[in-house]
Amino acid sequence: MPELDMIVNNWPEPASLDLASGKYTKIWQGPQHPGVTGNMALEITLEGDVVQECRTHVGYLHRGFEKLMERRTFMQCFPIVCRICVPEPDYNEYLFAAAVEELAGIEVPDRGQWIRALTLEMIRIASLTMGLGGQAGAFGLGTIGQWTVAHRDLMLDLFEELTGARLYHMYILPGGVRQDLPEGFVEHLETVLNKFEILIQEIERVLFNNAVFKARAEGLGIIPSDWVEPYGITGTTARAAGVPLDIRKNNPYLIYDELDFEMITGSKSDAFERTMLRKEEVLLSINLIRQILQKMPRTGSVRTKLPNVLHWNVPAGETYVRAETGRGEMGYYMVSDGTEYPRRIHVRGASYTHALAVLEKLAVGQSIADIAGLMVSLQTCPPEIER
Amino acid sequence: MKTLIETLKTNSLITSVEAKREDLIFISCEPDHLIEILTDLRDWKNFRHLVMISAVDWIEQGQFQLTYLLYNYENHSDIGVKIRIPRENPEAQSIHHLWKTAHIYQRELHEMFGIVFPGSPRLEESMLLEGWDQIPPMRKEFDTKKYSEETFFPRPGRQTSDPKAHMKQTNYPDDAKMNDELKQLVRDNRKKNREVQDA
């Protein structure tokens, strides 16, 4: 095929910069970044203080989960999947459980599904709020980061009450959730939600009306909407570009089709808009939690009985399940060969494309001072790049 | 979705069509026809979002399975395109010109499974395994336990947990050494005396 060869060979080589000319400086930003959970390095070539080339280097955080899971039985995989992502562990638990349930044909009781959705929305609030703090911190407004981390702790307290653990909950397991809501949990949750609403109001006043934040975030890192398809952009980053992509709405999982909500989209697609959208998402999640608490069945079991998990052969097959995290689409591709061990589990995180392809492209031409803010505005999360 | 399945079944390049869910289909094809099928799906069937590329190691059959998962923005459904390539000298067609993110997945597959994608940019650039001389680690025959036992050893660690002794060791190593030698001398003498007495 001559046409194909032409296309393949015409792939533009990255412009090679003459480093010996003394015109450029090469520096490394990271691997530690305040505001980003995990380690990831940016190799930046500067001319003056303008970035000419940016290369993302990962490899500081690799824990080999995909390989580890191939050597464990399905039930032994369940406690380690939550460790893949630090800010939003529950999505990993849910997606692993959903994939196993689909392969094994397990039905989850209704109340179990509602409680799952409740936990997912709770951790989504915690993660998005911390992301807001990180965004403010990247532009030198550290106070907001302290507020949001303190409020995230309130949410972690609730998780401790619900699951016994603050970060890695190991709560959503194949077949349902581990146990029912404890007594008085709903009232505690309502108190914390009210505190979050007040926090969002304060953030609105202090961050979004702040001259410094406006001056630095507006117009920073604009992603045109036609980048969404070739770069595989998902989540708030895509919605800020005006592309209506929300898996909760498009491919409703759990009980999201019974909830009443509108997808939030933006149009300007800069760092300011993305942060604004994340703030709106927190309010949406609060609204969704209230709806869930209202519409949830009051009684019923929360988990089905699994077969003996020590000798559990999941039927052969393959599947892909996805969910909408705070950063974008997260999915699990699971292949089972009919034995006790999974043949392959591939974890697809939104940051994989955002931090490796989009950031390298967006950073060019920006000032070195804006790189941190740009990186946080793409919701970079190195733990899900390196599984 | 049903019409799509019917259309796919009439395509002679596609060897099997399997409807997994209402919004998820898996199809298989020969490795040589991969780009034709992906281009057709992208440009004519609206599957324009590349969700992921993944490899599965079927070591018993001596094959790698590559799965390309595409997503349709209009009717919100997925299609997985599967190809099988031999495990010996694995090579597949590169699709970096179809999606801008494809080369990153291909880089990872090259690093972790050793699959070669001719023409893919920055393919040799490793994400994590700098100076790796073993077989690619995500292959099934790579024994993680054996590797870690051969590569990593328990650290000798500090001999004493007493902070005073530790500080002395770090700050005044000569004194500490002399002290140790003296102690050893005393110990040896005592031992000698005891042996003499016993005799």
Contact A199, A209 (CB under 8 A): no
CA A36 to centroid of chain Cα atoms: 12
- Comparing alpha-carbon positions, the chain B residue that sits nearest to A247 is B76
Of A320, A333, A357, Cβ closest to residue B100: A357
Asked whether the predicted pLDDT for residue A1 surpasses 50, the reply is no
CA-based torsion, B88, B92, B96, B99: positive or negative: negative
Asked whether the predicted pLDDT for residue B28 surpasses 50, the reply is yes
Contact B100, A357 (CB under 8 A): yes
| Residue A357 touches partner B, C-beta closer than 8 Å | yes
Pairing assessment for the beta strands A329-336 and B24-29 based on DSSP bridges: unpaired
Q: Which residues pair with A337 in a beta bridge?
A: none
Asked whether the predicted pLDDT for residue B15 surpasses 60, the reply is yes
More confident residue, A6 or A280: A280
Confidence at residue A291, expressed as pLDDT on a 0 to 100 scale:
93
Question: How distant, in Å, are the alpha carbons of B39, B147, B155, B158 from that of B152?
Answer: 47, 8, 9, 18
Contacts of A115 (CB under 8 A, 6+ apart): A177, A180, A181, A296, A302
Contact A362, A374 (CB under 8 A): yes
Beta-carbon separation of A64 and B26 below 8 A: no
**How many residues appear in chain A?**
387
The tokens 């989504």 sit on which residue?
A124
Interior CA angle at A204 toward A198 and A208, to 5°? 165
Beta-carbon separation of A67 and B138 below 8 A: yes
| Residue A280 touches partner B, C-beta closer than 8 Å | no
Beta-carbon separation of B52 and A333 below 8 A: yes
How far is it, in rounded angstroms, from Cα A238 to Cα A227?
Answer: 9
More confident residue, A203 or A18: A203
Beta-carbon separation of A67 and B100 below 8 A: no
Gap from A21 CA to chain B (nearest CA, Å): 24
Contacts of A220 (CB under 8 A, 6+ apart): A270, A271, A272, A366, A370, A373, A374, A377
Asked whether the predicted pLDDT for residue B20 surpasses 50, the reply is yes
Half-sphere exposure of A158 (CA within 13 A, CB side): 23
Confidence at residue B154, expressed as pLDDT on a 0 to 100 scale:
65
**ipTM of the modeled complex:** 0.87
Confidence at residue A6, expressed as pLDDT on a 0 to 100 scale:
47
Contact A327, A257 (CB under 8 A): no
Predicted model pTM: 0.86
Gap from A44 CA to chain B (nearest CA, Å): 16
DSSP structure string for B62-78: TEEEEEEEEEETTT--E
DSSP structure string for B103-159: HHHHHHHHHHH--B-TT-TTTT--SS-TT--SS-TTSTT--HHHHHHHH-------S
Contacts of B136 (CB under 8 A, 6+ apart): B111, B112, B113, B114, B142
What does pLDDT average to over chain B?
86
Average pLDDT over residues B110-139: 87
- Comparing alpha-carbon positions, the chain A residue that sits nearest to B64 is A344
Contact A36, A376 (CB under 8 A): yes
Segment (H or E) for A27: strand A25-29
Asked whether the predicted pLDDT for residue B165 surpasses 80, the reply is no
Name residues 326-355 of chain A within 8 A of B (Cβ): 329, 331, 333, 335, 343-344, 346, 348, 352-353
Confidence at residue A141, expressed as pLDDT on a 0 to 100 scale:
87
Question: How distant, in Å, are the alpha carbons of A87, A120, A240, B39 from that of A235?
Answer: 16, 15, 9, 25
Average pLDDT over residues A80-92: 88
Beta-carbon separation of B56 and A356 below 8 A: no
Confidence at residue A378, expressed as pLDDT on a 0 to 100 scale:
86
Closest CA to A277 of A232, A247, A246: A246
Q: Which residues pair with A173 in a beta bridge?
A: A176
A231: which chain B residues are within 8 Å (Cβ-Cβ)?
A: 99-101
Beta-carbon separation of B51 and A331 below 8 A: yes
Contacts of A43 (CB under 8 A, 6+ apart): A26, A28, A54, A55, A56, A57
Q: What are phi and psi of A67, to 5 degrees?
A: -75, -40
Contact A220, A270 (CB under 8 A): yes
What does pLDDT average to over chain A?
88
Average pLDDT over residues B73-100: 90
Q: Which two tokens stand for residue A250?
A: 């498009």
- Portion of chain B with pLDDT greater than 70, in percent: 96
How far is it, in rounded angstroms, from Cα A351 to Cα A327?
Answer: 7
How far is it, in rounded angstroms, from Cα A339 to Cα A284?
Answer: 42
Closest CA to A325 of A156, A154, A40, A92: A92
| Residue A62 touches partner B, C-beta closer than 8 Å | yes
Confidence at residue B159, expressed as pLDDT on a 0 to 100 scale:
63
How far is it, in rounded angstroms, from Cα B199 to Cα A76?
Answer: 63
Gap from B27 CA to chain A (nearest CA, Å): 12
How far is it, in rounded angstroms, from Cα B28 to Cα B18?
Answer: 9
Gap from A231 CA to chain B (nearest CA, Å): 5
pLDDT band for position B158 (cuts 50, 70, 90): low
By the 10 Å C-beta count (0-12 exposed, 13-18 middle, 19+ buried), B165 is classed as middle
pLDDT tens-digit profile of A311-334? 888 899 999 999 999 888 999 999
Asked whether the predicted pLDDT for residue A9 surpasses 60, the reply is no
pLDDT band for position A2 (cuts 50, 70, 90): very low
Confidence at residue B131, expressed as pLDDT on a 0 to 100 scale:
80
B128: which chain A residues are within 8 Å (Cβ-Cβ)?
A: 58-59, 62, 386
By the 10 Å C-beta count (0-12 exposed, 13-18 middle, 19+ buried), A9 is classed as exposed
Q: What is the largest CA-CA distance in chain B?
A: 102
Question: How distant, in Å, are the alpha carbons of A156, A349, B49, B180 from that of A353?
Answer: 29, 8, 12, 59
Name residues 160-199 of chain B within 8 A of A (Cβ): none
| Residue A6 touches partner B, C-beta closer than 8 Å | no
A11: which chain B residues are within 8 Å (Cβ-Cβ)?
A: 96-97, 119, 121
Asked whether the predicted pLDDT for residue A67 surpasses 70, the reply is yes
- Portion of chain A with pLDDT greater than 70, in percent: 96
Beta-carbon separation of B21 and A102 below 8 A: yes
pLDDT tens-digit profile of A284-320? 999 999 999 999 998 888 888 888 888 888 899 999 9
Pairing assessment for the beta strands B63-72 and B14-21 based on DSSP bridges: unpaired
Sheet with A329-336: list strands edge to edge.
A317-324, A329-336, A342-348
Average pLDDT over residues A360-382: 87
Confidence at residue B157, expressed as pLDDT on a 0 to 100 scale:
58
Confidence at residue A24, expressed as pLDDT on a 0 to 100 scale:
87
Phi-psi sector, A365: left (phi>0), alpha (psi -120 to 50), beta:
left
